[in-house]
Amino acid sequence: MSKKNENSESISRMVDLLRSGAVMLREACPVCHSPLFKVRDEIICPKCQKRVVIVQRDEEASKVLEESVLSTLKGTLVVKVQALEKEIAKEKDPDKLYELLRILVAFLEALERIKRIGA
């Protein structure tokens, strides 16, 4: 995609955001330096098309990073549990089935721990 097309699409997304009630902020995206927009309780970059978190102190940055990592890990584990469920449904060998179930229990315990932490 050409730079001109990319800029045109980015501007078009900005206009759409403003029309839908979003507020343009004075802060810029740390990646592309495009203006950030607040939509409801989220801050997004229309050019990167990603959610952005603004932090004031290092402690906030740590907390946001921790929440992000835990959320990503939770999503990964859910995908793995779904894939494992399909393998378990097909498996006939009791030894392999036992091993798959042990892995499933480990994944579920990890998900439970993430839930207790608060992600």
> What Å distances lie between residue 52 and 17, 42, 63, 104, CA to CA?
15, 8, 14, 34
pLDDT the model gives residue 30: 83
Q: What is the pLDDT of residue 36?
A: 93
> One digit per residue, pLDDT tens: the chain, 119 residues?
566 777 788 889 999 999 999 999 998 888 888 999 999 888 999 988 888 877 666 666 667 677 778 888 999 999 999 999 999 999 999 999 999 999 999 999 999 998 888 75
* Residue found under tokens 């029309």: 19
SS3 56: coil
What is the end-to-end Cα distance of the chain in Å, rounded? 37
CB-based contact 50:30 (threshold 8 Å): no
Q: Of all helices (H) and strands (E), which one includes residue 43?
A: strand 42-45
- 50 three-class SS: strand
Return the closest-CA partner of residue 8 out of 44, 50, 41, 46.
46
Rounded Cα distance, 54 and 88, in Å: 43
Dihedral sign from CA coordinates of 102, 108, 112, 113: positive
29: nearest Cα among 41, 47, 13: 47
Ordered by start, the domain boundaries in the chain are: 3-52, 58-117
pLDDT of residue 119: 55
Look up the pTM and report it.
Answer: 0.51
What pLDDT score does 60 carry? 64
Q: Residue 69: its pLDDT value, please?
A: 83
| Single-letter amino acid code for the residue at 85 | E
